[in-house]
Structure 1
Amino acid sequence: MNLISIKDASLSFSNLEILKNASFYINKNERICLTGKNGAGKSTLLKIINKTQDLDKGVISYRKNIKTSYLAQENLNYLNISIFEFIKKKFKKINTNEIIKIEKIIDILKLNKNTLLSEVSGGFLRKIALSATLVDEPDILLLDEPTNHLDMNTIKWLENFLKKFSGSIVFISHDRWFIEKVCTRIIDLDRGKLISFPGDYKKFIKLKYQNNSIEKVKKKLFDQKLEKEEIWIKKGIKARTTRNEGRVRNLEILRKENKNYKKVEKFNNITINEIKDYSGKIAFKLKNINFCIKNKTIIQNFSSIIQHGDKIGLIGKNGSGKSTMIKILIGENQVQTGDFYSGKQLKIAYFDQNRSILNSNKSILDNINEGKDKILINGKEQHLVGYLKKFLFKPYDLARLVKTLSGGECNRLLLAKLFLKKNNVLIFDEPTNDLDLETLELLEKIIIQYSGTVLIVSHDRHFIQNTVNKYWLFKGNGLITTHLGAYKEPTEKEIKKNKNKKNIYTLNKKLNLSNQNQLKKEIKKILNQIENIEKNIKILQDEINKPEFFKKNIINQLPILKKLNLEEKKLEKQLICWENLEKYK
């Protein structure tokens, strides 16, 4: 017998059909990932399983004495109590046995029971909320976006923890790496239907694409049949004769089916209001910057040059200084010591993970239009309703208050507002939270094709790996290191190797970093090399920019293009060397 089974389930809210004669089951020791578009009803399905939401019709069966525990998508908001007191709320009555259970789970998760919730980060709050779901030793864990607000190390810990969990798990997640590592089966909620797939994420994507292709062909054949029948009925054939009554009834069934059909919606054709004529080469320059909060060092002697077109990831534990760095770049925080420069022509569009620019008590339309029916993007006028339709907001949805939207719908609305602003710099602080898989993949494409500068704070390893060409690693205690190339998750061997690795300059150049004279000479030498490389790049670029260059035979073009590529790589390496040495001044 299944632990839980749902048969012929239907549920609708106004214009939204959540379930349509859907069936679903959970077996012992399964780890099921529930996927689907934002607003499709995934969180509602978890609430149905948790007995906090009723169906319009259908049957739910539970194995006797089965216990479920539910982790909500939203983070904790009543913070003026200790971790112990918060977890204690899970029990109606508390006795010695329950106290032992609470202390056991606090110990497993390595928490301090007396710490107040108000004293910890968002990621830590998520860990505490998870501990509350585990304390009653449930048979089934229901987790709604469990990786939201968690840093990469905590996500890895959660992956291992869930794989060792003795019960079954149903979780909602859009973290592709996490899904791949944890789930044994994928259930896709698509237009009211629940479809089961194997637990391999890549196979799931392939099979879903195949299913959608088959559906398109079937719909085309259906439309042809319907058109043929409509032509027949219009010809005035005596449709009321006994012989033709069946065909008329079939036509009515076809009409009804066509009316109820919901096509696959795609979030695409998004245009950013991008300023492409930025004349500067450097977007930001940071030299020996420092920042402290209450005597705690957040950023220490950090130097970097952010060039126009760079795509940089900010990676590190919660509380390591990533959001502080973002606030410095957007001008909300001022560096306490050191030099900070930002280009005069910069226009920054900032995605705030707290969605502070959205008014939850206003409608979708009122949050975007500011009293205007039309908008201007890249000099072209568009109707606002049409623009929002591209972000999957239907005309009849636009009067909905923001506070009624799902987390993913709020983030889609935030992106719609963000991309309206004229910009040549995009800064994202946790953009992947709550976004569905298709939206994530589209956002990746937008970032890759964007010609301006991009900075991204994210704990989504797949997203970071696909979008950045450089990353800053926030190691804690103010230490930040710069790394070239796409982010690659270190293996266990690399982690052990890096722990024992000495400073690259001590090993390779035997440079005494405490000797300021020697350090200054080395920095001067590198700056001269940077200057020479930049001169070489300018000569090569001037050659390439000549009208006749691309009229040459490809054999004559390649040596110059290869040389330019080589010089640009040299420049990147020398800039990293300069940034690292500046920390020791």
Structure 2
Amino acid sequence: MNLVNLESVSHAYGPKPLLSDVSLGVEAGERIGVVGRNGGGKTTLLSVIAGAVRPDKGRVTHNRGLRVGFLSQQDTLDAGAAVREIVLGERAEHEWAGDQGVREILTNLIGDLDLDARVGDLSGGERRRTALARLLIDDHDLIMLDEPTNHLDIEAIAWLAGHLAARKSALVAVTHDRWFLDAVSSRTWEVVDGRVERYEGGYAAYVLAKAERARIAQAAEERRQNLMRKEIAWLRRGPPARTSKPKFRIEAAQALIANEPPPRETVELMKFAAARLGKTVYDLEDVTLHAGGPGSGPLVLDDLTWQFGPGDRIGLIGVNGSGKSSVLRLLAGTVVPDSGRVIKGKTVRLAHLSQELAELDPTRRVLETVEEVRKYLQVGKREWTASQLLERLGFRGEAQWKVVGDLSGGERRRLQLLRLLMDDPNVLLLDEPTNDLDIETLNELEDLLDAWPGTLVLVSHDRYFLERVTDRCVALLGDGKLSLLPGGVDEYLERRAAGTALTARVGTSANSTVAQTPSAAAASGGVAGTSTSDEANGGLPGLSAKEERELRKELNRLERQLDKLSDQESRLHAAMADAASDYEKLGSLDAQLREITTQKDAIEAEWLEVADRLGD
């Protein structure tokens, strides 16, 4: 059942149409991730679906009584109200305190924030969490979120993904956080050139499907060029043979990555980095550091000895307020430790991207602002001009001649990052570099960093980006140490959950009214209120071991049949290309191809049915 229907919807701001004749629907329980370039129309699409914006043309229909929860990017909270009023409304204390779901949301989003604090006194991140908590506490048939992970740390993002996955509401979410997209969405919509392209699956499936579409288009063009002469002769003798385009198959996805090298040649980059940096980059000896200066604020490092070597690519993880930015400032030399020494290598050429936007001359052009740093940059084995790098980071054509004062916050962020890279540093300290960057720009940035030789220390709540560009992760867990995480972000979340579980058990013994948190429940072997008997028995829900074995055998049989039919299909395509001038033979081959295609369609449908029963 569709909750919302859009029929031939068009909408524009200025001369450029953001949505053009779009027709789609959101079904009950459906989970949709929305991606696309900044300014491409994602927020407009969400606003139209939610009914917050009336389209220029077309019709938007909501089911009668539909309850929509909409988190926009704009902060509309009453600055004079208390957090309690915003989040809990008129609920009596005994009512919400006795509701486990409400307590879970307050624990993970509001945390230690005073419920009686005025909204006007909150930081941007605290206001965002307050708005998100208000939305999640209420019941909705459809939840719509525009950049919900902004200002959330990795732990809060992981909790939010789990919480949304457990709700029965339909979900439409715009986000540039690719890990979050994969965790919460079962379909992906890409807003591009006024259209909405639809893909099955989360971000990973979307990338594969999009790459496969491009591969098919490229292969078709190559075949067209190679067979042009034969096709002309063929067309003169009679109508062209009908062909069938094969469906997307698992083998096609595997073929895309079969010969793909790893993203970085780590050994070669480390050799190059060592040549540029020498043996010493940063050595920390018995360093003690407080976030607020010597002796004030939370303790970040306690008598720590640590080495950052040439070619290290380190992701720094921790909750908000744990001191990640303070560690970067310590390495940058803008803060001094309480005690101990920070030894910096003599050849270090540092670039530090902080969360605060550096002042740029608002009267200069974008290209001029980059070229005043450097006009050319060697990245790996290739030399790039300033203009080429600007294009890679989203400044295309006339955008390179825009005045800096007219840029958005996200565009200024990209410009600041590119200026740092153009200065050819050998050590990069990046504090939340992905803020306000869309997915296409993130892909380009990752590709640039893959070929960049040097030492990289990254702070980011974008889990996908963190795991993509770094080789190892360390965490600030509140004990004054940098804890190495061989298991990456998953290990960090497990260790945080174990620590939270211990705190919860201690708190429960002291105060019987404290509820068990979801992370504590996970650490103790399950989710609060959820049975795990199926998993404990090692089988699939609703299937006996014998039934599962039989279904697996059937799945293998169908896959073997599909492989044989795919081989026959490939041979027929090759035979048709060779027989391009023989119309009678082409007709016979085309009949065989149609028969094989029909068989494949039937077997693929059967395969999908069996796989669905197995939960594959």
| C-alpha distance in 2 between matches for 1:218 and 1:466 | 32
Instruction: Write out per-residue CA displacement over residues 236-255 of structure 1, whole angstroms, 9 at most, x where no aligned residue.
Output: xxxxxxxxxxxxxxxxxxxx
Aligned with 2:189 (options 180, 187, 190): 187
**Percent identity of paired positions between Structure 1 and Structure 2:** 29
| C-alpha distance in 2 between matches for 1:383 and 1:326 | 29
For the 8 Å contact 2:377–2:386, the answer to whether it is kept is: no
Q: Match of 2:288, SS? A: strand
Match of 2:416 in 1: 414
Match of 1:336 in 2: 338
Q: Match of 2:2, SS? A: coil
Aligned with 1:109 (options 106, 109, 114): 106
1:2-21 to structure 2, matched below 5 A, reads: 2-14=2-14, 16-21=16-21
Cα 1:383–1:462 change in 2 (3 A) is closer
18-27 or 211-220, larger mean C-alpha shift: 211-220
Match of 1:288 in 2: 286
Instruction: Write out per-residue CA displacement over residues 301-322 of structure 1, whole angstroms, 9 at most, x where no aligned residue.
Output: 2221111211111011111010
Q: Match of 2:33, SS? A: strand
Match of 2:171 in 1: 169
Q: Match of 1:141, SS? A: strand
Cα 1:223–1:22 change in 2 (3 A) is farther
Match of 1:206 in 2: 208
| C-alpha distance in 2 between matches for 1:348 and 1:490 | 30
Superposed displacement of residue 406, structure 1: 6.1
| C-alpha distance in 2 between matches for 1:95 and 1:492 | 35
1:248-287 to structure 2, matched below 5 A, reads: 278-287=276-285
2:321 counterpart letter in structure 1: G
1:394 counterpart letter in structure 2: R
188-197 or 460-469, larger mean C-alpha shift: 460-469
Cα 1:334–1:41 change in 2 (3 A) is same
134-143 or 312-321, larger mean C-alpha shift: 134-143
Match of 2:71 in 1: 71
Cα 1:330–1:83 change in 2 (3 A) is same
Match of 1:55 in 2: 55
Q: Match of 1:109, SS? A: helix
1:133 aligns with 2:135: yes
338-347 or 48-57, larger mean C-alpha shift: 48-57
For the 8 Å contact 1:141–1:169, the answer to whether it is kept is: yes
| C-alpha distance in 1 between matches for 2:74 and 2:330 | 28
For the 8 Å contact 2:392–2:444, the answer to whether it is kept is: no
| C-alpha distance in 2 between matches for 1:117 and 1:450 | 43
1:305 counterpart letter in structure 2: Q
For the 8 Å contact 2:472–2:488, the answer to whether it is kept is: yes
Cα 1:398–1:491 change in 2 (3 A) is closer
For the 8 Å contact 2:393–2:445, the answer to whether it is kept is: no
1:21 counterpart letter in structure 2: D
Cα 1:78–1:409 change in 2 (3 A) is farther
Cα 1:30–1:404 change in 2 (3 A) is farther
| C-alpha distance in 2 between matches for 1:403 and 1:49 | 33
Match of 1:155 in 2: 157
Aligned with 1:427 (options 426, 429, 438): 429
Match of 2:534 in 1: none
Superposed displacement of residue 399, structure 1: 5.3
Match of 1:553 in 2: none
Match of 2:34 in 1: 34
For the 8 Å contact 1:7–1:58, the answer to whether it is kept is: yes
Match of 2:392 in 1: 390
| C-alpha distance in 2 between matches for 1:98 and 1:219 | 67
For the 8 Å contact 1:87–1:102, the answer to whether it is kept is: no
1:356-395 to structure 2, matched below 5 A, reads: 356-357=358-359, 364-365=366-367, 368=370, 375-378=375-378, 385-395=387-397
Equivalenced residues, count: 448
Cα 1:488–1:278 change in 2 (3 A) is same
For the 8 Å contact 2:128–2:151, the answer to whether it is kept is: yes
1:279-358 to structure 2, matched below 5 A, reads: 279-292=277-290, 293=292, 294-357=296-359
| C-alpha distance in 1 between matches for 2:492 and 2:422 | 41
Superposed displacement of residue 50, structure 1: 3.0
40-49 or 313-322, larger mean C-alpha shift: 40-49
Q: Match of 1:278, SS? A: helix
Q: Match of 2:375, SS? A: strand
For the 8 Å contact 2:358–2:416, the answer to whether it is kept is: no
Superposed displacement of residue 12, structure 1: 3.3
| C-alpha distance in 2 between matches for 1:103 and 1:128 | 20
Cα 1:117–1:222 change in 2 (3 A) is farther
Cα 1:222–1:436 change in 2 (3 A) is farther
For the 8 Å contact 1:39–1:409, the answer to whether it is kept is: no
Structure 1: state its 5+ residue gaps: 89-93, 225-273, 502-585
For the 8 Å contact 1:39–1:408, the answer to whether it is kept is: no
Instruction: Write out per-residue CA displacement over residues 511-530 of structure 1, whole angstroms, 9 at most, x where no aligned residue.
Output: xxxxxxxxxxxxxxxxxxxx
Cα 1:45–1:280 change in 2 (3 A) is same
Instruction: Write out per-residue CA displacement over residues 14-65 of structure 1, whole angstroms, 9 at most, x where no aligned residue.
Output: 4644222222211111221001233322122222223333433222111223
For the 8 Å contact 1:471–1:487, the answer to whether it is kept is: yes
2:49 counterpart letter in structure 1: I
Cα 1:391–1:201 change in 2 (3 A) is closer
Cα 1:115–1:70 change in 2 (3 A) is same
| C-alpha distance in 2 between matches for 1:178 and 1:311 | 23
For the 8 Å contact 2:273–2:455, the answer to whether it is kept is: no
Superposed displacement of residue 323, structure 1: 0.7
1:414 counterpart letter in structure 2: Q
Cα 1:78–1:302 change in 2 (3 A) is farther
1:482-497 to structure 2, matched below 5 A, reads: 482-483=483-484, 487-490=488-491
| C-alpha distance in 2 between matches for 1:123 and 1:296 | 19
| C-alpha distance in 2 between matches for 1:395 and 1:445 | 21
Instruction: Write out per-residue CA displacement over residues 197-249 of structure 1, whole angstroms, 9 at most, x where no aligned residue.
Output: 1224332211111222344567889999xxxxxxxxxxxxxxxxxxxxxxxxx
Match of 1:268 in 2: none
Superposed displacement of residue 396, structure 1: 2.6
| C-alpha distance in 1 between matches for 2:78 and 2:411 | 24
Match of 1:471 in 2: 473
TM-score scaled to structure 2, two decimals?
0.63
482-491 or 183-192, larger mean C-alpha shift: 482-491
Match of 1:84 in 2: 84
Cα 1:280–1:170 change in 2 (3 A) is same
Match of 1:178 in 2: 180
For the 8 Å contact 1:145–1:434, the answer to whether it is kept is: no
TM-score scaled to structure 1, two decimals?
0.66
Instruction: Write out per-residue CA displacement over residues 513-552 of structure 1, whole angstroms, 9 at most, x where no aligned residue.
Output: xxxxxxxxxxxxxxxxxxxxxxxxxxxxxxxxxxxxxxxx
